[in-house]
Structure 1
């Protein structure tokens, strides 16, 4: 059962969008004719309110999307691991991990418009290679024109967006402060950022409402 205190409210909608921009890989879930549901790690870009990914025009992925366009897509980022002894000197039960996750539900649409394909590929390059070092992708460039036509671009039109951020929102302030202090002293990667997010998402700072985008 999803704990309501970890759901993200509309106050932090931009944090959800920022996570979608930040992450490079997500997991695409699809229906299919096999015994097991389909799931595939894909490189993506969040652009103009939709999730885009590219690939070959032929293959099992494109065949599945054409037959079953209703999909789910998930991204997640792990922050600090919280060892049990930060809260209890004897038992393992309090061990946990703080994280952000987003799940999008929508429809996968194969993009045919060549200008849109160029825009998406440029957005993907800007995300993965922000330092530049290449000519912008354009149909006017003969070196790109054929490649753009041969590349498949899929747009996931989002009908529903759910987010779960876990940073101790179900803890009392004293417990938050105690673990935050220990994280600061430990000083591992992302520990400082975790302490800031623990305070940011404290349940006393916001109402408990679901974040959904329809």
Structure 2
């Protein structure tokens, strides 16, 4: 993923805060010999303090074979995207039709070492962490290795602890454009108000440099 200086996060807090609200992505593992990369869409719970994400999926999933052969994986999350028409991006003093269209989006890629978890007690603990993230209000039976209803289901899944070894983040929101062009884009996004426009506009305004006085 190419990241220009004006697209990079200001610090780890920026991308970690964004990722805290985005817990669905794609896990890419190296395919077996002769195969392309294997990609699994999945929910996950990211823990910034532990530098890891946890998830699980069914035991028959073919991705397990790839992970056992090579535990190096990439967890990719993309959201808050929208299309920006060319005329919106035209530099001041140039014809609108000379503007070049682009995409706005936020993306985080976590390079990880995958640790497959099969021990029932450890699986139950990782599931409790996921439940605390996705269902903090409770309402479900406790997750235990031997109690109903989850105990009997644990044999049908394998848990996955993703140890983060590198993080790359990108916020592509016209950071190189002049303030006049950025303000025009923000105004047009508010007027269009289509899917993704509000989130993209929020990022753009948040990252726009302050007016110099």
Common topology (TM > 0.5) = yes
Q: Which residue of 1 aligns with 2:46?
A: 46
Say whether the 8 Å CA contact 2:108–2:167 is kept in structure 1. yes
Q: Which residue of 1 aligns with 2:208?
A: 202
Q: Which residue of 1 aligns with 2:93?
A: none
Aligned residues: 202
Deviation at 1:115, TM superposition (A): 4.2
Instruction: Give, in whole Å, the separation in 1 of the partners of 2:148 and 2:154.
Output: 10
- Aligned with 1:136: secondary structure? coil
Instruction: Give, in whole Å, the separation in 2 of the partners of 1:155 and 1:149.
Output: 17
Say whether the 8 Å CA contact 2:116–2:161 is kept in structure 1. yes
Instruction: Give, in whole Å, the separation in 2 of the partners of 1:6 and 1:203.
Output: 13
Which runs of 5 or more structure 2 residues have no equivalent in the other structure? 91-95
Instruction: Give, in whole Å, the separation in 2 of the partners of 1:27 and 1:172.
Output: 34
Say whether the 8 Å CA contact 1:28–1:71 is kept in structure 2. yes
Q: Does 1:75 align with 2:81?
A: no
Instruction: Give, in whole Å, the separation in 1 of the partners of 2:208 and 2:121.
Output: 44
The CA RMSD measured in Å over matched residues stands at: 2.6
Q: Work out which of the residue numbers 157, 161, 173 in structure 1 matches 2:163.
A: 157
Instruction: Give, in whole Å, the separation in 1 of the partners of 2:23 and 2:205.
Output: 27
Change (3 A) 1:203 1:34: farther
Change (3 A) 1:20 1:149: farther
Q: Does 1:134 align with 2:140?
A: yes
Q: Which residue of 2 aligns with 1:17?
A: 16
Deviation at 1:161, TM superposition (A): 0.4
Which runs of 5 or more structure 1 residues have no equivalent in the other structure? 206-214
Q: Structure 2 length as normaliser, TM-score?
A: 0.80
Say whether the 8 Å CA contact 2:186–2:205 is kept in structure 1. no
Q: Does 1:102 align with 2:103?
A: no
Q: Structure 1 length as normaliser, TM-score?
A: 0.80
Instruction: Give, in whole Å, the separation in 2 of the partners of 1:150 and 1:38.
Output: 21
Q: Work out which of the residue numbers 187, 195, 198 in structure 1 matches 2:193.
A: 187
Instruction: Give, in whole Å, the separation in 1 of the partners of 2:199 and 2:23.
Output: 20
Q: Which residue of 2 aligns with 1:148?
A: 154
Instruction: Give, in whole Å, the separation in 2 of the partners of 1:84 and 1:41.
Output: 32
Deviation at 1:200, TM superposition (A): 1.8
Instruction: Give, in whole Å, the separation in 1 of the partners of 2:41 and 2:198.
Output: 29
Say whether the 8 Å CA contact 2:117–2:160 is kept in structure 1. yes
